[in-house]
Structure 1
């Protein structure tokens, strides 16, 4: 059994994740440019070829800026919802689109993928779970609150990548214009550290071996605040075990997590 996961970059400047088995290699989102994606793959000992597909969560620039050049260079299809495809700028569209529907499972190689709708200010945003070889991985970022459907889908994950975008007080006193602050704090925005902590205390099932906090704001958060808030939430739990806690970064890849 060999399943590998690496968050190559996570944040408002670009998101990209590697998921690989012995038979299938995927990139989830393409928010880094082609050169930076290849540089980060090399940094963790992964080839910049031999991919099977690119999977896209939504059309925001930090998730699709490298889409066209990566897909053309790697000669791979892009899996995307029809509404998200239609929302892409023309310079990010290619011919090799494959379409999925939120809530409907699909398979690439030996990986079963479940996209599910999340509350965010995009046309058809989704998060994902990936299942292969008895391992389940959840990738959940870019959501303003945590509806029941999200809680249901992430149950049983052996690895959970979950948003912890901002510290609410840092956001309130930070440099963003008020309308941007309102957008981030809205039910179509991003999860605060406290919102994620509430999920970890009340709804997280305690199954995950690895928990990765992701999409941390470089302006309105601090890694140690996010880490401490999550750790305090986890120790309050009365069931499950303590996961190995990691933080995804905008500038450097995580270690490769192996399952």
Structure 2
């Protein structure tokens, strides 16, 4: 069995947990170490099981807490060399472990597959995490779904998938034109419609659940994201990954009949300042 949880998801910070009974890893640490540990405790997730942290790219909402977390828990931090070089010096971990595209990284019983993708960063990656014939994907910050992303998404039993913006809200919103174009570009973010197309056309019959992730607070709503995905709701469970609190823990097993249900209700957004 695997337990998965979105510790934080949004442009104010990202962190995703994947673990079994003895080992766990995190993908990204874009909020403080204190907040990561508090949110894990709230969901009864044991930080002593953490064995590694994987960083998708150098933007602070994915890297902010990594250095302190690595020191405090004495776990390795995996990132590409270009990601390290592209990061602010005060955010760089002291002893990173570098990986390359197509490399498979073993962490106890887990195999982690870096997935090269398109985003406005030095060397961006998503990750597919495999354990005991179960596969979990963390796919956010993607301008468009390239063939590499589609291939790895098609292998997943569970996904944290970006559904960043609603087209009408973005183009009719208050962002300056250059920022609208950046968000919607091939190195920006996935829209609700793009995420729907990826799920509709490139997932397999073994996909159990999708956490809609990295949802913009200015250019999207939980309600719009869920409504876009509604035609897919009979194929797999769909939930929201929040920027304000950890999601419910989803239990993923080879037997689809034994898993914790995840909430499907929109949550109220609180902040009002623009962000990418």
For the 8 Å contact 2:165–2:190, the answer to whether it is kept is yes
Relative to the length of structure 2, the TM-score reads: 0.88
Matched, 1:101 2:100: yes
Runs of 4+ in structure 1 off by over 6 angstroms are: none
> Equivalent residue for 1:92?
91
1:238 equivalent in structure 2: none
Q: Deviations for 1:106-144, whole angstroms, at most 9, x for unmatched residues?
A: 111110000011100001001111110111111111011
Residues in 2 aligned to 1:203 and 1:20: alpha-carbon distance in whole angstroms: 25
Instruction: Output aligned runs, 1:1-259, within 5 Å.
Output: 2-232=1-231, 234=232, 242-259=235-252
Deviations 1:131-171 (A, max 9, x none): 10111111111011111111111113111221100001101
Q: Secondary structure at the match of 2:47?
A: coil
Write the distance in 1 (CA, Å) between the matches of 2:201 and 2:107.
Answer: 33
TM-score w.r.t. structure 1 length? 0.93
User: Deviations for 1:153-205, whole angstroms, at most 9, x for unmatched residues?
Assistant: 11131112211000011011212121111110100000000111122232222
* Greater displacement, 151-160 / 53-62: 151-160
Cα separation, 2, equivalents of 1:151 and 1:50:
31
Q: Distance in 2 between matches of 1:33 and 1:75?
A: 16
Q: Is the 8 A contact 1:55 1:78 kept in 2?
A: yes
* Aligned length in residues: 252
Measured in 1, the distance between the counterparts of 2:142 and 2:8 equals 18
What residue in structure 1 maps to residue 267 of structure 2?
Answer: none
Secondary structure in 2 matching 1:182:
helix
| Aligned partners of 2:13 and 2:31 also within 8 Å | yes
> Gaps (5+ residues) in structure 1?
236-240
Provide the rounded CA distance (Å) in 1 between the counterparts of 2:14 and 2:78: 16
The Cα shift of 1:94 comes to 2.8
CA distance in structure 1 between the partners assigned to 2:42 and 2:22 by the alignment = 22
